[in-house]
C-alpha cells in the first residue's frame, strides 16, 4: 500500500502568532477526528518551523518548509539551507512549486541540485511538477511533465528517488478555483507513474506517493482522492482554514 498524504502549503501567509494558532487548531482536530493511516504535513513559512515542530510533539502531524537553497551553507544572504531546516525538526521541503519556477526563475537544472541537497540532509522533498494553461492548450503537457521529471529527478539512483514525494499541480488550477477534473488529474498521475516504471521499475512506480494540488477543497477531494493513482493532496488556500484542511485529511479516514 502506498502512503497517503495530505499536505498543507501555507505559502507566504500568517504572521507568527496566527501560524501557531492555526497549527494548534489543526493538530487538535486531527488528533480527535483522524482514524486512518494517512500522513498529515503542514508546510509553513520558515519563521514558524521550529515552534510548529515543538507543538507537534505527540501528535501525528509533520512539518515541512516550502523551499531550500541548493548550497550546504555560505554567503547567500537571505537564503535558508536544508541543514538549517532540518535543525528545526522539520521533515519535508516543497521543491519546484510553480510559484518558485514562475516568480523566482527556478529551473529543472537548479531543482535537481536542490533535490540532492535536501536528500543529503535527511529531508524528504515534495517535488512539484505541472504544466501551464498555455502548455495544456498547446497539447504539450505530457512532454512538459516528462522533462520536469527527467531533468529534475532522473539523476537520482533508485534508492534516492524512492524517497521523493511527487506533487502534480497544474498551474492553471492553482489558486484559481478551477480544479482539474478527476479524469484529467488521474490521466496525468497514471502517466507519471508509467514514466517512473519505465525509468526505474514497476515496483518503484507503485510505491511512490503522487499528490494532486490545485484548488483542492473538502467538496472535490473525495472524488480526486478516489482515483487509482492519486495518493492525496497538496493544499493551498484550504489549508489556511483548520476545518477545511481537516475535512480534506479525513477523506482517507
Ligand atoms: O499551490 C497549491 C499548493 O501547493 C495549491 O494552491 P490552492 O489550493 O490554493 O489552489
Centre of ligand 1 to C-alpha 233, Å, is: 9
Centre of ligand 1 to C-alpha 135, Å, is: 19
What ligand 1 atom has the least distance to the C-alpha of 176?
10
State which residues form the domain around 49.
Answer: 5-252
Whole-number pLDDT of residue 179: 86
User: Do β-strands 210-213 and 165-168 pair in parallel, antiparallel, or remain unpaired?
Assistant: parallel
36 Cβ inside 6 Å of ligand 1: no
Whole-number pLDDT of residue 54: 98
Of 76, 78, 79, 5, nearest to 43 by C-alpha is 5
Strand partners of residue 166: 127, 210
User: Ligand 1 pocket: which of 5, 11, 133, 212 to mutate (most atoms <8 Å of CB)?
Assistant: 11
Whole-number pLDDT of residue 35: 96
Atom 3, ligand 1: residue with shortest CA distance: 236
Instruction: Supply 33's cell numbers.
Output: 477526528
How far are the Cα atoms of 97, 136, 140, 169, 243 from residue 133, in angstroms, in the given order?
Answer: 16, 5, 10, 12, 30
42 Cβ inside 6 Å of ligand 1: no
Whole-number pLDDT of residue 198: 98
The CATH number of the domain where 206 resides is what?
A: 3.20.20.70
Task: Check the CA dihedral 64-70-71-76 and report its sign.
Answer: negative
Structural domains in the chain (count): 1
Atom 6, ligand 1: residue with shortest CA distance: 236
Please check whether residue 248 is in contact with residue 221, taking contact to mean a CB–CB distance below 8 angstroms: yes
Centre of ligand 1 to C-alpha 107, Å, is: 20
Catalytic site positions:
97, 169
Residue 90 exposed, middle or buried by CB count within 10 Å (0-12, 13-18, 19+): buried
Q: Report the predicted TM-score, pTM, of the whole model to 2 decimal places.
A: 0.98
Instruction: Supply 100's cell numbers.
Output: 518558485
Enumerate the known binding-site residues for substrate.
9-11, 175, 215, 236-237
Atom 7, ligand 1: residue with shortest CA distance: 236
Render each residue's pLDDT in the chain as its tens digit; 253 residues: 799 999 999 999 999 999 999 999 999 999 999 999 999 999 999 999 999 999 999 999 999 999 999 999 999 999 999 999 999 999 999 999 999 999 999 999 999 999 999 999 999 999 999 999 999 999 999 999 999 999 999 999 999 999 999 999 999 999 888 888 999 999 999 999 999 999 999 999 999 999 999 999 999 999 999 999 999 999 999 999 999 999 999 999 9
Q: What is the DSSP string of 1-26?
A: -PPPEEEEE--S---HHHHHHHHHHH
What ligand 1 atom has the least distance to the C-alpha of 237?
9
Enumerate the known binding-site residues.
9-11, 175, 215, 236-237
236 Cβ inside 6 Å of ligand 1: yes
Instruction: Return the beta strands (E) in the chain as ranges.
Output: 5-9, 39-43, 61-65, 92-95, 124-129, 165-168, 210-213, 232-235
What SS3 state is found at 226?
coil
Whole-number pLDDT of residue 178: 86
Counting DSSP H helices and E strands in the chain, the numbers are 12, 8
Amino acid at each position: 500500500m502506498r502512503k497517503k498524504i495530505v499536505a498543507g502549503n501555507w505559502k507566504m501567509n500568517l504572521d507568527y502568532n496566527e501560524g501557531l494558532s492555526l497549527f494548534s487548531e489543526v493538530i487538535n482536530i486531527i488528533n480527535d477526528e483522524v482514524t486512518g493511516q494517512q500522513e498529515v504535513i503542514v508546510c509553513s513559512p520558515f519563521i514558524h518551523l521550529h515552534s510548529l515542530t515543538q507543538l507537534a510533539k505527540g501528535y501525528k502531524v509533520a512539518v515541512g518548509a516550502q523551499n531550500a537553497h541548493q548550497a550546504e551553507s555560505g554567503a547567500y544572504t537571505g537564503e535558508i539551507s536544508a541543514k538549517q531546516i532540518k535543525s528545526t525538526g522539520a521533515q519535508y521541503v516543497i521543491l519546484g512549486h510553480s510559484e518558485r519556477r514562475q516568480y523566482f526563475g527556478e529551473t529543472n537544472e537548479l531543482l535537481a541540485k536542490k533535490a540532492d541537497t535536501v536528500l543529503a540532509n535527511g529531508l524528504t522533498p515534495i517535488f512539484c511538477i505541472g504544466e501551464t494553461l498555455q502548455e495544456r492548450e498547446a497539447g504539450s503537457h505530457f512532454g512538459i511533465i516528462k522533462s520536469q521529471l527527467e531533468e529534475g529527478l532522473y539523476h537520482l539512483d533508485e534508492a534516492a528517488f524512492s524517497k521523493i514525494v511527487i506533487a502534480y499541480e497544474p498551474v492553471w488550477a492553482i489558486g484559481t478555483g478551477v480544479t482539474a477534473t478527476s479524469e484529467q488529474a488521474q490521466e496525468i498521475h497514471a502517466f507519471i507513474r508509467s514514466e517512473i516504471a519505465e525509468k526505474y521499475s514497476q515496483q518503484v512506480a507503485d510505491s511512490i506517493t503522487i499528490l494532486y494540488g490545485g484548488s483542492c477543497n473538502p467538496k472535490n477531494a473525495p472524488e480526486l482522492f478516489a482515483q487509482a493513482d492519486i495518493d492525496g493532496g497538496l493544499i493551498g488556500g484550504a489549508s489556511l482554514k483548520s476545518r477545511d484542511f481537516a475535512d480534506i485529511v479525513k477523506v482517507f479516514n
